[in-house]
Chains A and B, each alone.
Chain A
Amino acid sequence: MADRPDADREAGANKPALRLHVPEPKSRPGDTVDFSHVPVSQPGKQPRPDEACDARETEGLCHDLIRVLGDDDRAHGPWDPKLDPDTLRTMLGHFALVRAFDERMFRGQRQGKTSFYMKCTGEEATSVSAAMALASDDMVFPSYRQQGVLIARGYDLVEMINQIYSNKGDKLKGRQLPIMYSSREHSFFSISGNLATQTPQAVGWAMASAIKGDSRIAATWVGEGSTAEGDFHSACTFATVYNAPVILNVINNQWAISSFSGFAGSERTTFAARALGYGLAGLRVDGNDALAVYAAQRWAANRARANAGPTLIEYFTYRAEGHSTSDDPTGYRSAQEREEWPLGDPVMRLKNHLIALGEWDEDRQTEMDREAAERVKAATKEAEKNGILGHGMHQPFRTMFEDVFEELPWNLKEQAEQATRERLIKFNGGRPK
């Protein structure tokens, strides 16, 4: 063993003691919020490299912030996707629907109709606008706050609510936590509660698509907090090694339950910059700017489709609400944060843009919001006919034992019989008392 030069303790006594750094957010409950450390770049000033460029050409974009919509509510610069007003209105309509849906489901949880819900307030663009930039049959591997993808893909609201209520209409048979949807028909992968696991899976799906000479690409969403999981780093490595046609979306919404993004490493570099070490193309995008989100996702999709390589996109956004209905954000962050988030609200910004274009007005917005609320209300009523959580209108009892394997093995047959006997005793013929 090598001798330490200061093996003599006395001799080293005047050296500074080592210190551990434990990150701390800029503000806590009761503090005045200061977002001066959040760099807000000038919209339209970020270069847009060719989609087939060498990944290294995106280096500057990994530290900058791609923005399109300016304070003047106009679109600026090379990232302006130049969407027609109809598409913009459709996007706004999806936003309205997501917001109405979140509002009603949140209330439903408070009313005891289900156990759990997660809103995506403030992050709508990162799923709705991104999904609109993909082909409808591109495979998505979402995390738990991408209800906007399903809304944008036209998934039936009643199906979504059936899943949230775990009722007899729930095609996932009441096995998944509410909001962990799955829809093969909409190329929407089953959501896992184990974080970041979907990232290598998305890469594997994309690799399979490439192996088979398909033209569909894959996209995945992961929160900035769970980029610390090993799965994310495996996904980045596999994506770059095999040049998989995949988009890795990192939703940096600043908070992982009560842990701020510093605990995922944001104090030293950006999440987009993680792309650089892997040789991936990286983009850092204003996640509350619907046009910038759309443009970045489209850029990455075109790049993947052209076999030019995978892209890691950091959507810089803000989680306006708590993590879930089980969370109380007033316990760990300043209440002012939401109000003072320097990049605004994605819905308001898109609405104001459309108004600035002369393609929208407040009355039409009010009508859109009302219609969205009505649609959700009607869907909720429809879904409630199938039951709500804990009220007995669930999937047939034996489904509990199905689908563990393709065929029922002897041990599950025996246990199903046992459960059936117990049920007769406990519930007097099958209905909970």
Chain B
Amino acid sequence: MSTGVTEPKGANNDTVRRLNMIEAINDALDIMLERDPDVIVLGEDVGYFGGVFRCTAGLQEKHGKTRVFDTPISECGIIGVAVGMGAYGLRPVPEIQFADYIYPGLDQLVSEAARLRYRSATEYIAPMTVRTPFGGGIFGGQTHSQSPEALFTHVSGLKTVIPSTPYDAKGLLISCIEDNDPVIFFEPKRIYNGPFSGYYDKPAEPWKRHPQSEVPEGYYRIPLGKARTVTEGEALTVLAYGTMVHVAESVCREKGVDAEILDLRTLAPLDIEAIEASVKKTGRCLIVHEATRTSGFGAELSALVTERCFYHLEAPVERVTGFDTPYPHSLEWAYFPGPIRIGEAIDQLLSE
């Protein structure tokens, strides 16, 4: 069971359903649209059609055209108008159809939304949650597969959140929408429909049979800045988020490694206490992410672990990442940090 769940308010948690991540996100949006008349969902295709991944299906019909609506193909416009809506007092939830497309809206997010509270000394805030699917493994080529999360963790004033289960996706998204700071919520699209073991040639397991797809009905929150302990262990600590949580979990299970896997859940703010406690316990640290290696978020994690846990380390911190190339369409499984790359890194770590 996940940790860090706050007391549900008025939720009927007796009724538990098994949802995939898309349905869990849809559920969170539905609840927040219902609870708070200031919540607005906007983005390309999110209205009548319900989004290309169906995350907003049925929301326009239920909540009306001025609460959930389509936008022009303009990421700068989508995020820019959301800043204005936030300044008015709404809580917009803009969707960027793929994280790869966020760059035209980058200035509005990093220079405007992220700094508005600071520059106006709290006169104006931009409480928005930018939802965007990210990551590869769906044959999306180099324009539908990127993991740009590290860019956003570098920005003062922006929170970066990444769920890895339907349960977390719902609870974290509700927290994001209620948060008074701008948040970017990365949805690992490879695991929208089920956890992924990293073996692309094996059938993917649907969420239906997975315990972490047990999603309570109604409202609940998972606080930002709290990691989840996926498995407890003594041999090494694995730091992962999104899709890579499941890949790492399957590799450790398969190799019979007594690993402590932490699902970071939010990269900013980061749960440094959980990381420090775990690495000091195990003495070994493996960092796994799908994004390219150089200046990736793993570099920050590695630096933090080295700074804070150096005298507890029995081996150098290892990173398993994507390569420093764009995501190659036909060779995406060669790019993807799968079981072989992770397994070798674990062997290396344990051999020292």
Contacts and interface: CB of A to CB of B under 8 A. Distances in A.
A342 to B, nearest CB: 36
Interface string B92-106: 100000000000100
A205 B107 contact: no
A204 B83 CA distance: 7
Interface residues of A, number: 45
B325 interface: no
B181 A406 contact: yes
B84 A201 contact: yes
Contacts of B159: 405
A200 interface: yes
Contacts of A403: 117-118, 121-122
A194 B112 contact: yes
B119 A230 contact: no
Interface string A223-247: 0000000110011011001000000
A201 B107 contact: no
B112 A211 contact: no
Interface in B92-142: 92, 104, 107-108, 111-112, 116-125
A209 B88 contact: yes
B87 interface: yes
A217 to B, nearest CB: 12
B198 to A, nearest CB: 32
A239 B47 CA distance: 18
Interface in B235-279: 268-270, 272-273
Interface string A112-155: 00000000000000000000000000010100000000000000
Interface in B68-94: 71-72, 74, 76-77, 80-85, 87-90, 92
B107 A237 contact: no
B180 interface: yes
A92 B120 CA distance: 30
A206 B80 CA distance: 12
Contacts of B116: 190
Contacts of B107: 194, 197, 231
Given A203-B81, A204-B82, A205-B85, A182 B74 contact: no
Contact of B88 (A197, A199, A208): A208
Contacts of B77: 200, 203, 231, 234-235, 237-238
A175 interface: yes
B84 A404 contact: no
B120 A172 contact: yes
Nearest to A405: B181
B225 interface: yes
B interface secondary structure, majority? mixed
Nearest to A170: B121
B72 A241 contact: yes
Contacts of A182: 119-121, 123-124
Nearest to B182: A405
Contacts of A173: 121
Contact of B85 (A171, A199, A207, A235): A207
Nearest to A244: B81
Nearest to A220: B84
A226 B156 CA distance: 26
A202 interface: yes
Interface string B157-200: 10100000000000000000001110000000000000000000
A206 B320 CA distance: 47
B157 A200 contact: no
A410 interface: yes
B230 interface: no
B118 A175 contact: yes
A235 B80 contact: yes
A251 to B, nearest CB: 20
A192 interface: yes
A189 B124 CA distance: 8
Nearest to A412: B156
A410 B85 contact: no
B66 interface: yes
A183 interface: yes
A179 interface: no
Nearest to B181: A405
A141 to B, nearest CB: 8
Which of A200, A210, A218 has the most chain B CB atoms inside 10 A of its CB?
A200
A201 B74 contact: no
A237 B74 CA distance: 9
B72 A206 contact: no
Interface in B25-66: 40, 66
Given A197-B108, A204-B85, A235-B77, A190 B120 contact: yes
27 contacts: A175-B118, A182-B119, A189-B124, A197-B80, A201-B87, A202-B84, A204-B81, A204-B82, A204-B83, A204-B87, A204-B88, A205-B85, A205-B87, A208-B84, A208-B85, A208-B90, A211-B40, A211-B85, A212-B88, A218-B84, A231-B80, A234-B80, A237-B72, A238-B71, A404-B118, A404-B156, A405-B157
Interface of A: 139, 141, 171-173, 175-176, 180, 182-184, 189-190, 192, 194, 197, 199-212, 218, 230-231, 234-235, 237-238, 241, 403-406, 409-411
